[in-house]
Amino acid sequence: MAFDSVPARDLPLNDAALAQVFTEARTRNGWTDRPVPTELLHKLYDLTKFGPTAVNNTPARFVFVTSPEAKEKLIPLMSEGNQAKTAQAPVTVIIGYDMNFHDHLAHLFPHAPGARDWFGDEAARRESAFRNSSLQGGYLIAAARALGLDIGPMSGFDPAGIKAAFFPEGDIEPNFIVNLGYGSDENLFPRSPRLTFDEAARIV
C-alpha cells in the first residue's frame, strides 16, 4: 500500500522524532540561559491539553514560573538538591490538580449531563484528580520534547508551602514540578538502565 493512501494518524513518527522525544532525550539538571518565549509556553499547553483523561476531566492546573519574583518565592520551597537547578532553569512548571474539576464537566463532557454527580465522593475525586493530572504532566513532558525543549521533573518540594504560595485559592493541590528550557550537559548523569520488556511487561 502506498504511504500517500494511509491516513496520517496511522503513520509512525520517524526514528529521529522518536529519539528526540524518547530514546535520546535526557533529564536535565543544568540549563543554558537561552530564554523560552511566552508564545512557546502557550503552544506547549495547547499540545498538552489534547492528551486523553478520564471523562475528559482535565484536572491539571499549570503555573509557569518565569519571573525573578516568582522564582524567589519558589526556590526556598524546593528540596535542597533541587534549588540550584530550579534557580538556573528559565521556566519551572508547577503541575497541580483541581479538586473541583467536576464543576467543569458540564462544559468538558457535555454528552453526559449528570457527569458531575459521578464525583460526589471526595476521596474518589482526589484519586481521579491525582491520576489524571499525572497523565497530563506526562503529556506535557512529551510535548515539551517534541517542541525542542528539555525537561527536568522533580518531586522534592514542600507541598504545603507550594500550595500556599501558588494555589492560595485552596482547591488546587500540587502534584509535581518540572524544570523547562534548553538544557546543558552540566551535571548530566550517565543514562540509567531501564527494565526490559520481560522484566516489566507481559502479554496475556
pLDDT tens digits, 151-190: 999 999 999 999 999 999 889 999 999 999 999 999 999 9
Asked, for residue 110, whether it belongs to a domain, the answer is yes
Q: Is 84 contained in some domain? A: yes
pLDDT at 10: 83
Does some domain include residue 140? yes
Q: Which pLDDT band, with edges at 50, 70 and 90, does 2 fall under?
A: low
Q: Cα angle vertex 17, ends 132, 152, to 5°?
A: 50
Asked whether residue 97 is domain-assigned, the answer is yes
Mean pLDDT of 101-126: 96
Q: Are 175 and 137 in contact (CB under 8 A)?
A: yes
Residue whose entry in the numeric block shows the C-alpha cell 474539576 = 101
Give the pLDDT band (50/70/90) at residue 5.
low
Mean pLDDT of 129-140: 98
Beta strands in the chain (DSSP E): 30-31, 60-65, 91-98, 150-154, 172-181, 183-184
- The answer to whether position 198 is within a domain reads no
DSSP letter, residue 90: S
Whether residue 122 lies inside any domain: the answer is yes
Q: Is residue 118 part of a domain?
A: yes
193/147 Cα distance (integer angstroms)? 26
Is residue 139 situated within a structural domain?
Answer: yes
> Please, which contacts does 111-114 make with residues 24 or more away whose CB atoms are closer than 8 Å?
112/55
Number of domains in the chain: 1
Residue 121: pLDDT above 60?
A: yes
pTM of the model: 0.94
Alpha-carbon distance values, 127 to 98, 118, 137, 170, 186 (Å): 11, 13, 15, 17, 37
Domain containing residue 85 = 28-184
Using the predicted structure, report yes or no on whether residue 6 has a pLDDT greater than 90. no
The CATH number covering residue 68 comes to: 3.40.109.10
Is the predicted pLDDT of residue 3 greater than 70, yes or no? no
CA 57 to chain CA mean position, Å? 16
